[in-house]
Every structure is written in C-alpha cells, then in structure tokens.
C-alpha cells in the first residue's frame, strides 16, 4: 500500500495492534515504509508517498478524512488462528466486523475495514470456534 505518512503510522498501528502482525526486515529502499510480518512471512508492505505525490483518485489525502478508494481489490483474505482472540482484539479496538459462516468450506469469516478503508477477511477453521 502506498500512503501518506500519517496514514502509514495509522496502518502500522492497526495491523500490529489489532491483527498482531509485527514490523520486520525491509530492504533499504529510498522510500520510507515498513514490512509487516505474520510469523516469519512478510504479508503487507506499506510505503510512504513521496513529498508532493498525490494519492490516486478516490483515495484519501490524509487521516481522518478516509474516503472509499476506487480499486479492483474488494478485500484481502488471511488464513488465521484463534477466533476468540481475533474477536477480542477487534472488539477492544472498537473495530466493527461481520461474522459469517461457510459450512461447505468449513470456515468462519470475519470481515472489517482498516483505517484506510481496505477490506480485510480473516478466515478460521470452524473447529476453531464455530
């Protein structure tokens, strides 16, 4: 994700505090940014826009005036564990979510949005709390 400096800070906090990701190693690019890891795997790359760079049409220029972004991506989906802990984290951070069950797939899904309006789906096996 390529975002403003305030948005980068908000997203880093959100993904670390709410989802439990951690900041990890990132090559020394010229741009500022962070790579967020789930365990040993980098799963989200955040990059700060250059000074004077304008966000894509429909994107927010700064927080908190986040608008819906125009994107072909509806949401990202992350295989997850510990449904109860995920619900606790979302609730304790005031993140509204929707829970759905997909019995044919044996999954429980939590849907919500990050501070930039990106859709997130956490997927849990039904045996993990369904």
Domain residue limits, the chain: 1-51, 74-130
Backbone angles phi, psi at 8, to 5 degrees: -60, -45
pLDDT at 101: 95
pLDDT at 5: 87
pLDDT at 3: 87
pLDDT at 52: 67
Backbone angles phi, psi at 70, to 5 degrees: -90, 115
- Averaged pLDDT for residues 73-97: 93
pLDDT in tens, 27-71: 998 889 999 999 999 999 999 987 766 665 544 443 444 554 456
CATH superfamily of 74-130: 2,3-Dihydroxybiphenyl 1,2-Dioxygenase, domain 1 (3.10.180.10)
């Amino acid at each position: 994700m390529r975002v403003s400096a305030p948005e980068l800070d908000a997203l880093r906090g959100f993904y670390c505090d709410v989802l439990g990701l951690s900041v990890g190693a990132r090559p020394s690019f010229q741009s500022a940014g962070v790579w967020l890891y789930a365990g040993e795997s980098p799963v989200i790359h955040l990059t700060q826009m250059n000074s004077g760079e304008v966000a894509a049409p429909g994107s927010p220029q700064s927080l908190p005036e986040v608008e819906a972004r125009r994107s072909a991506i509806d949401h990202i989906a992350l295989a997850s564990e510990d449904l109860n802990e995920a619900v606790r984290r979302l609730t304790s951070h005031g993140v509204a979510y929707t829970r759905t069950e997909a019995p044919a797939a044996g999954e429980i899904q939590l849907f919500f949005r990050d501070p930039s309006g990106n859709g997130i789906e956490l997927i849990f096996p039904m045996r993990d709390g369904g």
